[in-house]
Amino acid sequence: MNLKYYQKEMECMPEAELKKLQGERLAANFRHVYENVEYYRNRCKAAGVTPDDIKGLEDLDKIPFTCKDDLRATYPYGLFAVPMKDVVRVHASSGTTGKQIVVGYTAGDLEIWNDCCARQLVAIGAGSDDFVQNSYGYGMFTGGFGIHGGATKLGAAVIPVSSGNTTRQITFMRDFGSTVLCCTPSYAAYLGETLKEMGLSPSDIKLKAGIFGAEPWTEEMRADIEKALGIKAYDIYGLTEVMGPGVAYECFEQKGMHVNEDHFIIETIDPETGKRLPDGEKGELVFTAITKQAFPLMRFRTKDIGVLNRKRCACGRTFVRMSKPMGRTDDMLIIRGVNVFPSQIEGVLLQNGYQANYQIIVGRENNNDTFEIKVEMIPEKFSDVVSEVSKQEKLLESSLLTVLQIKAKVTLVAPKSIARSEGKAKRVIDTRKLHD
């Protein structure tokens, strides 16, 4: 069965009605957080805001922001708004200092998440007859379980293959008749190349569409993936703090991602002043969860830069569309779909007796991220014996893998060979050109 919308009454709700609903839900969820999260209540008290002040959408900018530092300060459960007995799932994502960001869901929250992901699947033409090959990682990362829940609720057949083991992925794709592929765009590109290397072509598989997100990708990359796999490739946006994948979804038009506005309010703000910007102006994306119960963040600053478009979409959905994220206000890198902060790398180097003289070099070859870290040897450990250097490199690579969860190539270089800067050190060289 193929549907045009998954929940038409929500996805196509007239704008005025949607605004009213958002206002009511905002007032109720703000009260819920205020009453149940002491940390956030203290912030509101300091700002002089109480639940009686938040009656509707027009009061949104009275509400204090939440940011990533707040999640670190309250690790692990300090921002949960329900008793732990009501939490049925916990996920985590990397934080800036190696400390994880921890989020939770009630059974009801999982249903909301499933609905949001099911909307994405339906919007790209999937239905209960489809075979969804889910090659997002399963585990603490939200990608795997998020899509899994949505596809299951839709009634599609899920192939929960997770990421990795690439030739096996192609074999499954061909033998099981996968029709929809879900993974990061870089993995999709790699699967496309592997298909070719295995002597196969898109005509040997049944894939018709793919849903790719969790990291930035370009229109050129979209074209490459579409060609290599013989599919239409769609973008999906999400983040652990707000829910996971499915916060916003692309439709057939492929012109921006519809934000699930019955569950999340999106705003753009000036990252310097915190002032709200009119739709159409580029700014930091801020989300407020208005239905989630276990972990409903109020005005969460994503550090992603984007633009909102309120023009009516040809697909009939009334939900606002957000652009692809156009960059970040912090130094977070997304490498092969994994969040990496330079500070995490620095931490590992210092723990291993190195100094903070390093350079991170990220590039892209054949649609795959390359990730190298040049580190200066310390004079005491200095060696020009190749086998000794390579042993030290391997040791550092394995410590980094434990913390970052992705592999980096370490190259040790002679002491004092990395240029010193007189101002802010230029630690990262990223040649991927992922943003306009």
Q: Tell me the residue type at 2.
A: N
**186 binds ligand ADP per the rule CB under 6 A:** no
**93 binds ligand ADP per the rule CB under 6 A:** yes
And the tokens for 328?
Answer: 């970040």
- From 186, 208, 204, select the one nearest 195 (Cα to Cα): 204
**141 binds ligand ADP per the rule CB under 6 A:** yes
Q: How far is the CB of 305 from ligand ADP (least distance, A)?
A: 9
| Touching ligand ADP, residues 229-248 (CB under 6 A) | 235-240, 244-245
**149 binds ligand ADP per the rule CB under 6 A:** no
Which residues fall within 8 angstroms of residue 171, CB to CB, at 6 or more apart?
Answer: none
Considering only 11, 109, 115, 215, the residue that binds ligand ADP (CB under 6 A) is 215
Closer CB to ligand ADP, residue 13 or residue 101?
101
DSSP for 302-353, written as a single string = EEEEE-EE-SPPTTS--S-EEPPP--BSS--EEETTEEE-HHHHHHHHHHTT
Which listed option, Zn ion, ligand ADP, none, makes contact with residue 216 (CB within 5 to 8 Å by class)?
A: ligand ADP
CB 184 within 8 A of CB 215: yes
And the tokens for 78?
Answer: 């300090």
Residues contacting ligand ADP: total by CB under 6 A: 22
Which listed option, ligand ADP, Zn ion, none, makes contact with residue 148 (CB within 5 to 8 Å by class)?
A: none
Closer CB to Zn ion, residue 38 or residue 253?
253
Task: Give the burial class of 52: count Cβ atoms within 10 A of its Cβ; 0-12 exposed, 13-18 middle, 19 or more buried.
Answer: exposed
Region of residue 34 (left: phi > 0; alpha: psi -120 to 50; beta: else):
alpha
CB 345 within 8 A of CB 373: yes
**323 binds ligand ADP per the rule CB under 6 A:** no
Distances (CA, A) of 231 to 24, 192, 214, 255, 366: 41, 11, 19, 17, 18
Which listed option, Zn ion, ligand ADP, none, makes contact with residue 209 (CB within 5 to 8 Å by class)?
A: none
Element (H, E) at 202: none
**179 binds ligand ADP per the rule CB under 6 A:** no
Considering only 142, 163, 186, 260, the residue that binds ligand ADP (CB under 6 A) is 142
Residues near Zn ion (CB under 5 A): 251, 253, 313, 315, 317
CA-to-CA distance for 138 and 88, rounded, in angstroms?
16
Element (H, E) at 234: strand 232-239
Dihedral over Cα of 323, 324, 326, 332: its sign: positive
Q: What is the DSSP letter of 328?
A: B
Q: How far is the CB of 248 from ligand ADP (least distance, A)?
A: 8
Task: Give CA torsion, residues 301, 325, 262, 232, to 10 deg.
Answer: -160
Closer CB to ligand ADP, residue 192 or residue 244?
244
Closer CB to ligand ADP, residue 70 or residue 235?
235
Closer CB to ligand ADP, residue 256 or residue 325?
325
Q: How far is the CB of 263 from ligand ADP (least distance, A)?
A: 16
Q: How far is the CB of 342 from ligand ADP (least distance, A)?
A: 15
Q: Looking at 170-178, 210-218, 354-362, 420-428, which segment touches ligand ADP (CB under 6 A)?
A: 210-218
Considering only 104, 213, 246, 342, the residue that binds ligand ADP (CB under 6 A) is 213
Binding mask 264-293 for ligand ADP (x = CB under 6 A): ------------------------------
Backbone angles phi and psi of 295, in degrees to 5 = -140, 65
Q: Looking at 19-27, 196-204, 213-221, 368-376, which segment touches ligand ADP (CB under 6 A)?
A: 213-221
Q: How far is the CB of 213 from ligand ADP (least distance, A)?
A: 3
Neighbours of 377 (CB within 10 A): 21
Closer CB to ligand ADP, residue 54 or residue 222?
222
Task: Give the burial class of 16: count Cβ atoms within 10 A of its Cβ; 0-12 exposed, 13-18 middle, 19 or more buried.
Answer: exposed
- From 162, 175, 246, select the one nearest 211 (Cα to Cα): 246
Q: Which residues are near ligand ADP by CB under 6 A?
A: 93, 141-143, 213-216, 235-240, 244-245, 302, 304, 324-325, 334, 339
